[in-house]
Structure 1
Amino acid sequence: MPKLAHIVYFTLKERTAESIEHLLSECRHYLNSHDGLISFDLGTHVKDLDREVNGDFDVSLHLIFADRASQDTYQVSDRHQTFIANNKATWQNVVVYDSYIV
């Protein structure tokens, strides 16, 4: 079974340094250390790399799972659902890309 990459881009309603740091902290608390999670990384938008192909976002979440089943379990986990419930109101937009790593 191939590994699965789950990449999420968050745009916040309040695009302040404090709001960004809060979401990063929430991601670290709720989304790290799930069964089958191989890699957990967070990022922030590089504002001075203004290219036509770069989207606009505040926080990026990069998760690599051992397989599709691990990612499916993560999606319905209590910690993931709590993260969504606690933070959803702060999001202006969320874009998710899931892909198999070949």
Structure 2
Amino acid sequence: MARLAHHVFFILKDRSQANIDSLIADCKTYLDKHDGVVDFSVGSRVKDLNREVNGDFDVSLHVIFQDRATHDVYQTAPRHLEFIERQKDNWASVQVLDSNLA
């Protein structure tokens, strides 16, 4: 069974360091340690890497799930939904990229 990589890139309405730090803290509190998570990382963009291929974002979240089923449970988990409610008004945009890992 393939692991599933869940990558999320956030651009904030207010791109201040305080708001970036708040989003990162909430990611760590509400999105880590769910059943089926085999790897978790979150951080801010390296602003001095400005190559044409570098996308614009403030915070990136990367969660590796043991399989699709645990990812699907995570999507409706109470802590995940609470995270969305706490932070959604701060987002200018969110891009989600999911992939199966070989």
Give the TM-score category using the shorter length: over 0.9
CA distance in 2, matches of 1:27, 1:44: 12
Q: Does 1:61 align with 2:61?
A: yes
Q: Are residues 1:31 and 2:31 paired?
A: yes
- Equivalence for 2:15: 15
Distance 2:85 2:44 in 1: 22
5+ long unaligned stretches in structure 2: none
Distance in 1 (alpha carbons) for counterparts of 2:45 and 2:86: 22
Q: Secondary structure at the match of 1:57?
A: coil
Superposed CA RMSD in Å reads: 0.5
Give 1:86's aligned residue: 86
TM normalised by structure 1 equals: 0.98
- Count of aligned pairs between the two proteins: 102
Which residues of structure 1 form unaligned runs of 5+?
none
Q: CA deviation at 1:43?
A: 1.8
Ranges of 4+ aligned residues in structure 1 off by more than 6 Å: none
- Aligned-residue identity in percent: 52
Q: Match of 2:47, as an amino acid?
A: K
